[in-house]
Chains A and B, each alone.
Chain A
């Protein structure tokens, strides 16, 4: 029983990370029809810049306020990077969607290489409040506190996103844009600004997630973005492109499935099962769980 609890909570913690990355990816695809392969880079850069803050905080390094600042810096770094990418690169390729995808691929490769160049390829521990390193006992299971932090953070993000989408004009435009962006333009709304905003939002979420990912893994490494990205893509597709709720459900499901399978069978099988689940979902419902039919270009 305690194992089940442990697996479930660590699974939800992992799912929280998937959600943070997948929600941004999903909105970016829904509105802009771009598969953003640079998303992993946003996560990695956010993580590393957050790390720098933590490391340079001196005596205050392991305090909660510094931790919050690290999260904020990660988010801001991701947002700014995304803004630069969108304005300088993506916009120039407006309506050339395949080229936009290609540019993000190149960017993803280049950014990770740059990070490796600056900080080196080795993993580093992530500074954090000492509470994070401890565990809490739940019905006999020693659950790492990091998981609670990740889960709490992503729940807050989920609620905030739902509020943004349901209650603000920007959210309205995004929801409409996911359905039919040319009609949104035909209503007099400048969709290009929406693109930048959505891209920045995704970048911020990813950067925020980068700090948490490094914590969850207890290690910061240049490759962490890319390994998470693949699973995030799977979550996005299973959950339905353009659907934040879908991403949340799929993220939790995929992560928990992965954890349980990896534990009860051999390590690695969990990853395979996730892949099989993706194939199964797509063959049955090509629009993913949320059922929306979307196609490339």
Chain B
């Protein structure tokens, strides 16, 4: 009777495994209600005049803020899909950005070059993204560990190269590929309709988070965690780890494609920066920053990172920084420096990331540093 058996039997999170049933039920209900409340609040944001100076460029009903929030939601959701691959199934993939970028670029190409209408283009993009993820997974998962990490990195790099070389002018090379408005319905185009884009982003984020949550909570999810922790035991049960990993990988990739499509709409174009390995590395940073082991941690990490990236960029260009003496100005003028340094500090001193830090303050222990994740299962 090991912890993995327990994990396979109870569809609960780590928290409720350590607490009596009744309390766990109430806690779960409270959490669900909190999530729904946040969701409703988020949906209402465009109608509200909430101002968060310093964080948002303007009150929440302004296009600039809505755009930023939309991007935050999408990146947060993307981080949650990466969490599925990395923290839940234990696969260190350095190429997750590829499927997100696929969604973005293929959608842009179908809309722009092939002039397909919205819905067929969307469905086709989703199919293509899923198929490519599946194929890459079929190949990459034949190895594990470092070899797997390197193969995924290599595939992502291949994608990045393809995009940058601008084969037949399809991908726009370094300048990216703009979103062609013609095939889109009018309610998606134009600054006035930014709130529609926001709601689309919110909807996609909700769908993705629900999907990830469903997968993690299901039996499949627990098998994935079992594969992460103790491959031998899973084999003994007659399950093939390869298949489990493939399912997780493909599901996460398909969801990432979906997010990529929404991202295209929100940003109005596809940028080659999202194909780079640095971008996948920043996904890794987000997931760890937020706290491993929980999709909410990933979302927090994603949202925090995106906000920081944006705001630090603005801060760097602002007068506050440009007038500083050189030793202070130089580091502060580079958002990536601050983010990288912050990340290092979090890894060193805050294992469990931001959510872990908060959880420790409130006395709960959902999150744990990665190398203790496997131990957390048996607590």
A contacting B, Cβ–Cβ less than 8 Å: yes
B164–A268 contact, CB under 8 A?
Answer: yes
- Which residues in chain A, 80-119, are within 8 Å of chain B measured between CB atoms? 89, 92-93, 95-99, 102-103, 105-114, 116-118
Does B187 lie at the interface of the complex (its beta carbon under 8 Å from any beta carbon of A)?
A: no
Does B108 lie at the interface of the complex (its beta carbon under 8 Å from any beta carbon of A)?
A: no
Residues of chain B at interface, number, CB under 8 A = 48
Residues of chain B within 8 A of A110, CB atoms compared: 336-337, 339-341, 343-344
A107–B143 contact, CB under 8 A?
Answer: no
B146–A109 contact, CB under 8 A?
Answer: no
Binary contact track A177-196/B, C-beta < 8 Å → 1, others 0: 00000000000000000000
Partner of B162, one of A111, A272, A282: A272
**Best-surrounded residue of A97, A107, A275, A276 (most CB of chain B within 10 A):** A275
Partner of B333, one of A99, A111, A117, A226: A117
A93–B334 contact, CB under 8 A?
Answer: no
Using A106-B343, A266-B165, A283-B139 as known contacts, say yes or no to A117 and B331 having CB atoms under 8 A apart: yes
Using A92-B348, A230-B277, A267-B165 as known contacts, say yes or no to A296 and B146 having CB atoms under 8 A apart: yes
A275 to B277, CA, bound (A): 14
B158–A275 contact, CB under 8 A?
Answer: yes
Does B85 lie at the interface of the complex (its beta carbon under 8 Å from any beta carbon of A)?
A: no
Residues of chain A within 8 A of B120, CB atoms compared: none
B336–A109 contact, CB under 8 A?
Answer: yes
Partner of A103, one of B147, B161, B347: B347
Task: Identify the closest chain B residue to A271 (Cβ).
Answer: B161
**Best-surrounded residue of B155, B285, B336 (most CB of chain A within 10 A):** B336
A294–B146 contact, CB under 8 A?
Answer: yes
Task: Please classify how large the interface on chain A is, using the bins under 10, 10 to 19, 20 to 34, 35 or more.
Answer: 35 or more
Chain B's nearest CB lies how many Å from the CB of A292?
Answer: 12
B334–A286 contact, CB under 8 A?
Answer: no
Residues of chain B within 8 A of A297, CB atoms compared: 145, 371
Offer 9 A-B interface pairs, CB within 8 angstroms, sorted by A.
A98-B371, A102-B288, A106-B340, A109-B343, A110-B340, A116-B334, A116-B336, A268-B167, A271-B161
Given contacts A105-B285, A117-B330, A296-B149, 7 further A-B contacts (CB under 8 A): A35-B146, A106-B340, A109-B343, A117-B331, A268-B164, A271-B161, A275-B157
Q: Show the binding face of B for A, using Cβ within 8 Å.
A: 92, 139-140, 142-147, 149-151, 153-155, 157-158, 161-162, 164-165, 167, 277-278, 281-282, 284-285, 288, 330-331, 333-337, 339-344, 347-348, 351, 369-371
3 nearest A-B residue pairs (beta carbon): A110-B340, A296-B145, A106-B343
